Structure 1
């Protein structure tokens, strides 16, 4: 099982480059950065994680700028979005950003994606909340066309463009892996339909053994090899027994959440996680 770390990069937390270098030196496989372009002041959409939206959601930096800084000081650690709100981004420009990061990192990008939960944030970008999942699929397919074709075109309900020539192409042939976030069964179904893996959030009231068994059965029924759809657990708990449960269930990767705190608070947590996991 592989281990990664996730943080809301802010102007008061450890720098992404510093964290990436420290995590790589300690043997972590991946670094994951989330995003929110903004938080609408109305605060009408409830946060799925609880009553009070944490400050870091308001303050988080752009993930691609942050990951580019991390790429410049590392050589092996995977550079990942966890998650990228593709529905709020232009797919042609996002395809270029992702491909550029994949090139400068020598093929270390994993694109974790999700449709998000904040209706007002999406609507400020012109995104229809009720159709966000179909929009997400079309934007992913459009980017994959750009990454793999010299003259790419896409004609969908929400994304539509005639042949375009866009470079660079990603270092990874076909483009970076697409890891689809979301709960079960919806997130799992979307991962099976057009992803290269599934990333649910831990602690949302689901049984890992039963859920993964159902997910793998759904994949097989859709003619997808379950081994081609690795499962990553997001915001994994720092508990030995729970970690062992995930390992026994065949989870491919655990991603531990870190606080948006300074170096002297975050680095000891990394050391603690190394001892806890034993890698």
Structure 2
């Protein structure tokens, strides 16, 4: 089981290059960055965590620029969007960004994607909230076409373009893992349809919680003709609880990702030291 970290990078936090080096030196697998372009002052969708959105939601850096900075300062650390909001991104531009960061990092990019929950933010980008799931699917399919064909074209309801040229192609073949985030069963179906992994909601790290969901997901994948082994599972926001983390190992979770506050090094480094100890005790 691999261990990574996720942070909302801001001007007031530890910076990507410094954190990337610290994670790599301690043997962690990956660094992840969420995405929010902005946070509207209106609120049609309640924050899943309850109450007002924390300031880092609207202070956060662009994820691709932050991750490229971390990748440039490291040699083995993987960097991932956790998650990129595709319903707010042009697919042709995003395909170019993904290929570029994957080439510059020499194949260390992980493309975590999701469809978002903040209706106000999504609709500011011209997306109709009710159609966001189909729009996201078409954008992913369109990008996968761009990455794998010399003269790609796509003809969908929301995404349409004729034959084109776009290089570079990704370093990883056929393209970086598309890891779909979201709850069971809908996001699980999307992961099986067009993904290379799943990030489930995992509020309860126990057999009767996420254990049930993962069993259902693997059965669903098999029924759809996908090998469950081709759809590794990553769980975010895990606690430094050895029993719960050993449970994740037991059920075959591929990766766990712990959250870091948007804080300076004097706050972050003790957290990394604690997780380094956890990592040793897990034997990973």
Same fold flag (TM > 0.5) = yes
Contact (CA 8 Å) 1:96, 1:166: kept in 2 or not? Answer: yes
Distance (Å, rounded) in 2 between the aligned partners of 1:53 and 1:195:
29
Contact (CA 8 Å) 2:8, 2:34: kept in 1 or not? Answer: yes
Unaligned 5+ residue runs, structure 1? none
Counterpart of 2:27 in structure 1 is 27
Counterpart of 2:66 in structure 1 is 66
Alignment of 1:94-173 (within 5 A): 94-173=94-173
Alignment of 1:246-257 (within 5 A): 246-257=248-259
Contact (CA 8 Å) 2:202, 2:209: kept in 1 or not? Answer: no
Q: How far 1:44 moved relative to its partner?
A: 2.7
Distance (Å, rounded) in 1 between the aligned partners of 2:94 and 2:211:
35
Contact (CA 8 Å) 1:208, 1:246: kept in 2 or not? Answer: no
Deviates more, 1:55-64 or 1:42-51: 42-51
Distance (Å, rounded) in 2 between the aligned partners of 1:164 and 1:50:
45
| Corresponding residue pairs, total | 279
Secondary structure of 2:153's partner? strand
Distance (Å, rounded) in 1 between the aligned partners of 2:232 and 2:218:
10
Distance (Å, rounded) in 2 between the aligned partners of 1:204 and 1:227:
23
Contact (CA 8 Å) 1:240, 1:277: kept in 2 or not? Answer: no
Distance (Å, rounded) in 2 between the aligned partners of 1:200 and 1:20:
25
Q: How far 1:43 moved relative to its partner?
A: 2.5
TM-score by length of 2: 0.96
Runs of 4+ in 1 over 6 A off after TM superposition: none
Alpha carbons of structure 1 residues 204 and 41: separation in structure 2 relative to 1, 3 Å? farther
Secondary structure of 2:101's partner? helix
Unaligned 5+ residue runs, structure 2? none
